[in-house]
C-alpha cells in the first residue's frame, strides 16, 4: 500500500489515500503515516468503514491507548472497547438523547478548543475519530495548527511566555459549562498537571503555542492575570487563518496530533443523531515501552 497525501489547507492538514485502514498496518505504512503526521498534523481518510475492533487495532499500531475522562465513569458506555470514546448524542437504544441528558451536556465541552488529555501525564499523541452517522447540517470539527500560531506571535510575546508553565485540569471546561455534579473522588481522580506554554514538537522540531481550554492558570501568577493571558493566547491561536473545518461524511476517519493542534466540535441540531467514536494514543516513546 502506498500512502498519498493532498494538502487541504495552506498551513497544515492533508487528505490521505492509498491505504486500507481496516487491514493490519505494517511497519512501512505506520512510518509513512507518522512522517505525514509530522508534516501535516491532521490527516483526513475518506471511505474507511471501520468496525470498533478495527479502529482499536489501528490505534494500537501507533502506541498504547488512552481512556482519558472515561476513568471518571459518570455514564453508561455504548462502546465495545473501553479504549473507545463515544463522541455522540446517542442513547442506549440508538436514539438522539434529550437536551438535558447528562451525556449531551458533557459532550458539549467538546465544542471548546482543546487538546485531548492535556490534563494528564502522559498526555495524548494521536486521536483517531471515525464518523458513523452525521447530521444533515453542522457538527463539523475544526482544527488549528499551534506551530503556525506560535510562529505568528510578536517577538515580545514570544519572549514573555518563554519559560512559563500552564496548569491543565481535566474538569475545568466542564465547570465552565455548569457541569459540576462530580464527587470529590472524581474531582481528584485526575489531578492538575503543568506544561510549558512553549514546547517543541518532536516530529517537526517546530515550536508550538501549547494552549487550550484545559489550561486554567499560569504557574506563579494570580488566577486573574494568568487566565487573561491564556484567553489572549487562545484567541490568537484560533484566528480563522489557522483553522481548518472538516465537514464529516460517514466512514471518514481523521487522525490528528494533539501535541501541535487544537480542535473543537461545532453546534448542530441535537434532535438529529451525530455519532462518532474516538481512539487515542498516549504520548510515550517506544523506549518507554521496553521492559526493564
For residue range 8-43, what is the model confidence (pLDDT) as tens digits? 999 999 999 999 999 999 999 999 999 999 999 999
Nearest to 82 by CA among 41, 50, 53: 53
- Per-residue HEC secondary structure of the chain comes to CCCEEEECCCCCCEEEECCCCCCCCCHHHHHHHHHHHHHHCEEEECCCCCCHHHHHHHHHCCCCECCHHHHHCCCCCCCCCCCEEEEECECCCCCECCCCCHHHHHHHHHHCCECCCCCCCCCEEEEEEEEEECCCCECCEEEEEHHHHHHCCCHHHHHHHCCCEEEECCCHHHHHCCCCCCCHHHHHHCCCEEEECEEECCCCCCEEECCCCCEEEECCCCHHHHHHHHHHHHHHHCCHHHEEEECCCCCCEEEEECCCEEEEECCECCCCCCEEEEEEEECCCHHHHCCC
> Residue holding cell 442513547?
91
End-to-end CA distance of the chain: 35
The mean per-residue pLDDT over the stretch 196-221 comes to 97
Whole-prediction pTM: 0.93
Domains of the chain in sequence order: 4-283 (3.60.130.10)
Which pLDDT tens digit goes with each residue over 168-181? Answer: 999 999 999 888 88
- Kindly give, in sequence order, each residue whose CB lies less than 8 Å from that of residue 44, ignoring residues fewer than 6 positions away: 8, 13, 14, 15, 16, 246, 252, 254
The pLDDT tens digits for 79-115 are 889 999 999 999 988 899 998 888 887 788 999 999 9
Cell of 50: 471501520
Res. 268: pLDDT tops 90:
yes
Task: Supply the pLDDT for residue 190.
Answer: 87
Cβ-based neighbour number of residue 93 at 10 Å: 6
Q: b/e for 115-153, b at 16 or more Cβ within 10 A?
A: bbbbbbebbbbbbbbbbbebbeeebbbbbbbbbbbbeeb
What's residue 148's pLDDT? 98
Among 13, 277, 232, 248, smallest CA distance to 144 is for: 13
Residue 159 above 90 pLDDT?
yes
CB 246 within 8 A of CB 142: yes
Amino acid at each position: 500500500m502506498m500512502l498519498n497525501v493532498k494538502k487541504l489547507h495552506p498551513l497544515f492538514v492533508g487528505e490521505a489515500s492509498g491505504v486500507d485502514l481496516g487491514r493490519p498496518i505494517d511497519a512501512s505504512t505506520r512510518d509513512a503515516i507518522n512522517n505525514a503526521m509530522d508534516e501535516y498534523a491532521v490527516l483526513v481518510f475518506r471511505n474507511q468503514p471501520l468496525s470498533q475492533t478495527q479502529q482499536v487495532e489501528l490505534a494500537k499500531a501507533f502506541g498504547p491507548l488512552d481512556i482519558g475522562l472515561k476513568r471518571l465513569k459518570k455514564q453508561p458506555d455504548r462502546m465495545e472497547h473501553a479504549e473507545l470514546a463515544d463522541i455522540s448524542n446517542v442513547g442506549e437504544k440508538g436514539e438522539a438523547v434529550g437536551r438535558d441528558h447528562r451525556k449531551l451536556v458533557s459532550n458539549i465541552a467538546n465544542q471548546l478548543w482543546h487538546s485531548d488529555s492535556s490534563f494528564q501525564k502522559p498526555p495524548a499523541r494521536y486521536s483517531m475519530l471515525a464518523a458513523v452517522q452525521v447530521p444533515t447540517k453542522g457538527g463539523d470539527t475544526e482544527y488549528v495548527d499551534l506551530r503556525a500560531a506560535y510562529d505568528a506571535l510578536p517577538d515580545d510575546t514570544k519572549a514573555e511566555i518563554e519559560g512559563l508553565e500552564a496548569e491543565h485540569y481535566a474538569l475545568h471546561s466542564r465547570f465552565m459549562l455548569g457541569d459540576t455534579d462530580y464527587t470529590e473522588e472524581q474531582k481528584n481522580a485526575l489531578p492538575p498537571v503543568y506544561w510549558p506554554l512553549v514546547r517543541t514538537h518532536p516530529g517537526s522540531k517546530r515550536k508550538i503555542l501549547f494552549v487550550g481550554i484545559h489550561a486554567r492558570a499560569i504557574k506563579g501568577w494570580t488566577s486573574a492575570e494568568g487566565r487573561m493571558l491564556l484567553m489572549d493566547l487562545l484567541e490568537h491561536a484560533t484566528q480563522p487563518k489557522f483553522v481548518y473545518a472538516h465537514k464529516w461524511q460517514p466512514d471518514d476517519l481523521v487522525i490528528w496530533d494533539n501535541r501541535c493542534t487544537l480542535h473543537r466540535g461545532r453546534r448542530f441540531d441535537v434532535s438529529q443523531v451525530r455519532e462518532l467514536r474516538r481512539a487515542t494514543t498516549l504520548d510515550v516513546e517506544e523506549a518507554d515501552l521496553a521492559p526493564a
